Structure 1
Amino acid sequence: MATDKIVTPVLKLAIPIMFIQVCQASLGLADTFVAGRYNVIDLAGIGLGSSLWTPVLTLITGVLYALVPKISASASTGRYTQMQQLFQHGKKITVILSTVGFILIQLLAFLCPLLIDDQQVATVTRQYLHYIAFGMPGLIYMVLNRFFCEGNSCLKPVFLTTVVLSGINLLLNYGLVNGWGILPRLGGAGCGLATAISVTTGAVMIHVLARRHIPFAFPVTPVTTNTHETKALFFEGLPVGISIVVEVLALTLLAFFASSMGTAVIAAHQIAINIALVVFMIPLALSSAATIRVAHFSGHQQQDNTAKTSSAVFFLTMAYGILMAVMINWFISPIVTGFSHDPEVQRLLKTLLGYIALFQFADAIMIVASGILRGMQEFIKPLIATFAAYWIFILPLSYVVGVQGWWWHAPGIQVIWSLLIAGLTGAAIILVVQVRQKLRDPRTSSPQSEELLKTE
């Protein structure tokens, strides 16, 4: 197959997902940007707060993600009654997850004074999380509707909701943090209230748009569902959520390692992480597209096209990584001054941006290699590589070397980022080798892959 016929379908799948992912990731970046220009203490507070509630959302999203292949299978065969039953199951699971998410985030808020040394930062974090908790039901319901849209290859409701949500969130951030007009001046905590209002609005909007564009996916009259089937779906999705949250929890712990180094370090580290997460959304979209295309060719026993697709996605990823590294280094000064007025935060951030350029390159290769392996029905090796990189190498060494200063004369945030880059580079190399081995294995093509064709 010609190269253009390999690359074009990958980009057609990846570009809409890129936009949606970048807009969603920019919600956290907007919080960081607005709070950073307001006060360094507020920036540190919402940074740590974001690190606490993001793993909760990630776990919940992973649990719901188990519905996506089933929705796709129902859509491809026109079994709309079954799809409507899936939505009823999803609603039940959403109620459970919303309740658990709300309670868990409120508990984390009350624990902030015990988890964070700086009590001013702890107060901002606590207030921010109290507000965020009220946004969890809307956020989770929005995720449920998004997955039904994606499962039916209907991205317009998700696209429009994401655009409007991002705009509302940014305006409310400025208004509630700084106290515009009749809005109260809440400081960093205002970012939490802005997010809660925005995602609740987004949930209403996607509810209306989804039912307008794919009415057959949602029941008009009540549909009877089996409680045992709901439980089975929940426990089927739980391992997916756990596997996704492994990396997010590790980054959360790294943020708390940084919290022992002072307010300026917390702020600079959090800005760096948020920039890295937005940059990371493009490789994540390429990874999703690679999974679908590789599964397509593997299911049809087309080993040569599987190899060509893998090579094309790796090339796109490396080209993107190089471009981002150049742009980050080129725009260091405007990025630094744009996010904070504090001289110490600016100094630290300027240093960390150099690390981000290397970090995003290694992370991009790792996530894309994982996506290719999943397309070849290999789920365990990416999880093991990610777990080993973070929980066996990066986290232990970051604490003993970067925080405690063992075996190193100058502990600090730079040491933590160096270890982060080293660990992810090692994992990326291992996964690329695994991809090459799978491509050489004649048993790579699996009839099971045909199920994934329905997600196209």
Structure 2
Amino acid sequence: MKKKPPIYMALIKLALPLMFIQICQASLGLVDTLLAGQYHYRDLAAVGLASNIWTPIAILITGIMYALVPKFSAANGQQDPAAGAKLLALGKRNAALLSLFGFCLVQAFAFSAPYLIAAQDVAKISQNYLHVVAFAVPGLTYMVLYRFFNEGRGNMRPIALTGALLLVVNSALNLVLVNGYLGFPQLGGLGCGIATAITTYCALAGLIFLSRRSLRALGQPAAQAAPGEAQRLLVEGLPIGIALVLEVLALTALAFFASALGTKVVAAHQVAINIAMVVFMIPVAISSAATIQVSHYRGQSLPSESKRAGLAALTMATLYGAIMTGVILAFGQHIAPWFSDDPEVVALISSLILFIAMFQLVDAIQMVAAGILRGLEEFVKPLVTVLFVYWIVIIPISYFIGVKGWLVEQPNIEQIWLLLTCGLTFAALLLGAQSYLQLNKNLLNPELKTA
């Protein structure tokens, strides 16, 4: 009898470097939040709101550029360096265009901050932060390009090392610039923006340096790109970017709902979101590994192994979610004082940490289920689920109950988070059922879709 492939080990081998990279990136926002909160809760609220404005723009750019990953992978698999060089040239053209688009959009939001944020002292800090962090967008865009170049070639080491560099440099610069150490003035929330801009270009330089051998192996493109090729690549990536950004925009909307409840409330909300995002990076890595493994076996016409890989990933997500729920319930209350010395803010953070614990299990399941569906080339179902759960259910109901106070005596942030937890549970049930049914359907009809 033929020995079955070690599904769990294959998933873990893929997921571990992705976990490290995702945690490093998510920790950047956590460091900003931690140091801004220790400086003043007003700066914490301002940096949090500004981050919720520019992060979706960065994610949109990342999603659009993601269309390069399978193309780099195909060129590498065919041992065609000229095709890889041509793709890199096209990526640079698009990166220049997206850099300009992102820079202008962030600056536009910076000028709009006083009209978007009710508390004008908070709005001023957010505005200054956004003016500075806009200069990070070009560096970030080119960093994404070289990251995806390495991912497409299966070369994770430069990305992992750059992720570590990003976290260390950003933490050090934040500490110095926010608090005014080493002779620098105290910049508060503005210091977070300056640190982000400087760190981005340091990481870009490091990533290019670590990728130099792979870049030299490409040589020069054998043929000039046709005029419309770069635009077609942008159009291919646009649906991916939109799908990624919709969920983030929903969290941004919830942050602005929280801002209507007061500066201390939005400060606590932002801390909770950043804690949740760091914990969430592990399911993101498992989801990416599931996509790779399910599509890998599907490409080899092994639908039974695709199903094994998908179910194994869901099992890993369930175990992780259950463990993290217990850990957060046991130790979460000790985290809140790290972010603020204001008793009211600490109390609010402590209450929201309970909700983070509540939705760990369902959040992990819905993320990994979406990854399985992507591996089966089902892109519409996760997108429709996100649209329905967030934008038709969670956002409207959160606004009317958590902000306007419908059906409750007093609107508060806990109601918004309770509704978020209920929505994530609904999404997990929908996506989990869809992924299981699609794995079984693939088992019965293993024919591949044409590219």
TM-score, with structure 1 as normaliser: 0.95
- Secondary structure at the residue paired with 2:353? helix
- In 1, the alpha carbon distance for the partners of 2:222 and 2:117 equals 47
Determine the structure 1 residue equivalent to 2:179: 178
Residue 48 of structure 1 is matched in structure 2 by 49
Distance across 1 between alignment mates of 2:326 and 2:185: 41
Which amino acid counterpart does residue 100 of structure 1 have in structure 2? F
Shift of 1:226: 2.2
Taking the TM superposition and a 5 Å limit, the aligned residue runs for 1:334-349 are: 334-349=334-349
Q: Which amino acid aligns with 1:198?
A: T
Q: 2:333 touches 2:353 (CA, 8 Å); kept in 1?
A: no
Question: Structure 1 CA distance, aligned partners of 2:236 and 2:374?
Answer: 17
Is 1:37–1:340's contact at 8 Å kept on the other side of the alignment? yes
Q: Tell me if the contact between 1:250 and 1:395 (Cα under 8 Å) persists in the aligned partners.
A: yes
Equivalent residue letter for 2:45: A
Q: 1:432 to 1:210 in 2, by over 3 A?
A: same
Structure 1 range deviating more: 401-410 or 252-261: 401-410
Query: Aligned residue pairs: how many?
Result: 449
Q: How far apart are 1:409 and its partner, in Å?
A: 2.2
Cα shift at 1:140: 0.8
| Unmatched segments (≥5 aa) in structure 2 | none
Separation in structure 1 between the aligned mates of residue 192 and residue 124 of structure 2, nearest angstrom: 14
- In structure 2, the CA distance between the partners of 1:446 and 1:289, relative to structure 1 (3 Å rule), is farther
Q: Tell me the SS of whatever aligns to 1:389.
A: helix
Q: How does 1:278-297 map to 2 (within 5 A)?
A: 278-297=278-297
SS in 2 for 1:301: coil
The answer to whether the 8 A contact 2:290-2:310 is kept is yes
Q: Which amino acid aligns with 2:59?
A: T
Report what 2:408 is aligned to.
408
Identity of aligned residues (%): 47
Secondary structure, aligned partner of 2:370: helix
Deviation by residue 1:254-306 (Cα, 9 ceiling, x = unmatched): 10000000111000000000011111110011001101111122223323222
Q: Deviations over 1:47-89 (max 9, x none)?
A: 0000000000010001100111111000000111011011111
Cα distance in structure 2, aligned partners of 1:227 and 1:443:
43
Matches within 5 A, 1:44-443: 44-217=45-218, 219=219, 224-441=224-441, 442-443=443-444
Displacement of 1:223: 6.6
Letter in 2 for 1:137: P
CA distance in 2, matches of 1:222, 1:313: 41
Shift of 1:104: 0.6
Q: CA deviation at 1:364?
A: 1.2
CA distance in 2, matches of 1:190, 1:281: 26
1:179–1:186 Cα contact (<8 Å) kept: yes
Query: Equivalents in 1 of 2:393, 2:333: separation in Å?
Result: 32
| Structure 2 CA distance for aligned equivalents of residues 203 and 301 of structure 1 | 39
Distance 1:148 1:428 in 2: 32
- Cα deviation, 1:306-330, whole Å, max 9, x if unaligned, reads 2222221111111111111111122
User: In 2 relative to 1, CA 75–227 (structure 1 residues): closer, same or farther, beyond 3 Å?
Assistant: same
What is the aligned-residue RMSD (CA, Å)? 1.6
Question: Deviation per CA, 1:167-189, whole angstroms, max 9, x where unpaired?
Answer: 01000001000011132211111
Question: Alignment partner of 1:405: what SS?
Answer: coil
Give yes or no for contact 1:44–1:270 (8 Å, CA) kept in 2: yes
Deviations 1:121-179 (A, max 9, x none): 10110111111001111111101000000000111111111111110100000100001
1:357-379: CA deviations, max 9, x gaps? 12232221111001111111111
Paired AA for residue 188 in structure 2: G
CA contact (8 A) 2:322 2:360 kept: no
Q: Structure 1 residues 279 and 444, CA, compared in 2 at 3 Å: closer, same or farther?
A: farther
Unmatched tracts of structure 1, length 5 or more: 452-456
Instruction: Name the CA distance, whole Å, in 1 between partners of 2:273 and 2:6.
Output: 36
User: How many Å separate the matches in 1 of 2:445 and 2:290?
Assistant: 15
- Determine the C-alpha separation between the residues in 1 that align with 2:31 and 2:168: 10
Residues 183-239 of structure 1: per-residue CA shift (max 9 Å, x gap): 22111110000000000111111111111345324x458973222101110111111
Q: How far apart in 2 are the matches of 1:446 and 1:392? A: 35
Distance 2:384 2:360 in 1: 20
Q: Which residue of 2 aligns with 1:454?
A: none
Structure 1 pair 222–116 and aligned structure 2 pair: CA distance change class (3 A): farther
Name the structure 1 match of 2:21: 20
Distance in structure 2 (CA, Å) of the matches to 1:253 and 1:333: 26
- The 1:193/1:223 distance shift into structure 2, 3 A limit, reads farther
Give 3-state SS (helix, strand or coil) of 1:165's partner. helix
CA distance in 2, matches of 1:422, 1:289: 27
Distance 1:393 1:301 in 2: 38
Rate the CA distance shift 1:64–1:167 in 2: closer, same or farther, 3 A. same
1:84–1:223 CA contact under 8 A, matched in 2? no
